[in-house]
Chains A and B, each alone.
Chain A
Amino acid sequence: MALLRKEPKAEPTEKWEAQLRKGCLELAILACLWDKRLYGLEILRGLEQNSNLVLAEGTVYPILARLKEDGLLQSEWVEADAGHPRKYYWLTASGRQKVVSMAQFWNSFAANLNSLLKPVLNGKGRS
């Protein structure tokens, strides 16, 4: 209990960033799998290279589990040279459809928001 109290409350901006990350993570995972089969760590590497979406590596796996339950992903254990099997994931047909529609939504969403943010980022409009 004492430990809990000592922990500083998350800053509002941090909280917002965390929520944003979480919302985008699903799309990013699906996008990683667009043209290849990958296992968990490869997906994580893809995410690390292209974004700073993941905070705790282990939390990618619950999302993969849900995407599979939702029928967007399929998975299979494959014996590897590494000595232990790895669980590979790939997109199902409905997963492909879903990621396309998500990507389209993201595109128009981001474009609209960016145009809204332009004056803020340029520092114009106010002295």
Chain B
Amino acid sequence: MNPMTSNPMIESYFAALETQLGDLPRLKRDEVVRELRAHLFDRLEQITVPTDDDCRTVLKAMGTPQEIARQYRLELLLSRSAWKISPWSMLRTLFRWTLTGIQGYIVFVLALLGYTVGASFYITALLKPFFPHNVGVFVGDEGLNLARFPEPPPGTEILGSYYVPVAVFLGFLFTLVTTLAIRFVVRRFGRLKQKVGGMAATA
């Protein structure tokens, strides 16, 4: 079987599949490729001495990488649990998008901003118990300040220890809203993008 594993036809098929599956999480993508390779080897094993033609036939019966990737995308989007909603995977999906044009880039920057604000609230909530005089909501001449080191920000702190639950809530809110917004945008325009991409590829 070994000569077949390094067959350029097979390798280019799986390379294409991996590229097409680009928006799947790495682990899932590896799993998919591994499983389809196992399928291919099982098919080829039925033939005593597989030729290039046999190989072509087996690959053809499997369907094109585009078709398989399309099915995966379709099926896993249909599944309730398939959509990862962690900020990390969200940003990764978006980052791939930024490479395709200015819209993607703007969405990515806005998403990054949303998550950064969310994370800042979480971090300050964590810091508040340790640095009660440096962290909080300070209202003064400079307007609104959340934290400053080593000197406390100017103005009066208005929340006291209530800052922690408030900041956690706001952090959660920002993260959630950003995630939902990204999901909406990707669902809305992701499809459009695919269509445009598909047309560009065949043009």
Residues of A within 8 A of B (CB): 1, 3-4, 39-41, 55-59, 61-63, 65-66, 69-70, 82-87
Q: Is the CB of B82 within 8 A of A62?
A: no
List chain A residues, Cβ under 8 A from B82. Answer: 66, 69
List chain B residues, Cβ under 8 A from A39. Answer: 38, 42
Q: Counting chain A CB atoms within 10 Å of each CB, which of B63, B74, B75 scores highest?
A: B75
Q: Which of B64-72, B115-123, B148-156, B160-168 contacts A (4 or more CB under 8 A)?
A: B64-72
Q: Is the CB of B38 within 8 A of A62?
A: no
Q: Is the CB of A4 within 8 A of B202?
A: yes
Q: Is the CB of B43 within 8 A of A41?
A: yes
Q: Is the CB of B45 within 8 A of A82?
A: yes
Q: Is the CB of A86 within 8 A of B42?
A: yes
Q: List 18 A-B contacts (CB under 8 A).
A: A39-B38, A40-B35, A57-B61, A58-B36, A58-B39, A58-B63, A59-B67, A59-B68, A59-B71, A62-B74, A62-B76, A63-B75, A66-B79, A82-B41, A84-B38, A86-B38, A86-B42, A87-B38
Tell me how far the C-beta of A86 lies from the nearest C-beta in chain B, rounded to whole angstroms.
5
List chain B residues, Cβ under 8 A from A58. Answer: 36, 39, 62-63, 67-68, 71
Tell me how far the C-beta of A32 lies from the nearest C-beta in chain B, rounded to whole angstroms.
15
Tell me how far the C-beta of B39 lies from the nearest C-beta in chain A, rounded to whole angstroms.
5
Residue B176 at the A interface, CB < 8 A? no
What 18 additional pairs, Cβ within 8 angstroms, besides A61-B72, A70-B80, A87-B34?
A: A4-B202, A40-B35, A40-B38, A55-B63, A56-B61, A59-B71, A61-B68, A62-B75, A63-B71, A65-B75, A66-B79, A69-B79, A69-B81, A82-B41, A82-B42, A83-B1, A84-B37, A87-B38
- State the CA gap A69–B43 with chains docked (Å): 26
Q: Is the CB of A57 within 8 A of B62?
A: yes
Dominant secondary structure at the B interface: helix
List chain B residues, Cβ under 8 A from A87. Answer: 34-35, 38
List chain B residues, Cβ under 8 A from A61. Answer: 32, 35-36, 39, 68, 72
Q: Which of A40, A59, A70, A82 contacts B79 (CB 8 A)?
A: A70
Tell me how far the C-beta of B33 lies from the nearest C-beta in chain A, rounded to whole angstroms.
10
- State the CA gap A58–B59 with chains docked (Å): 9
Q: Counting chain B CB atoms within 10 Å of each CB, which of A56, A58, A63 scores highest?
A: A58
Q: Is the CB of B202 within 8 A of A3?
A: yes
Q: Which of B41, B42, B67, B81 contacts A56 (CB 8 A)?
A: B67
List chain B residues, Cβ under 8 A from A69. Answer: 76, 79-82
- State the CA gap A39–B61 with chains docked (Å): 17
List chain A residues, Cβ under 8 A from B71. Answer: 58-59, 62-63
- State the CA gap A58–B74 with chains docked (Å): 14
Tell me how far the C-beta of A105 lies from the nearest C-beta in chain B, rounded to whole angstroms.
19
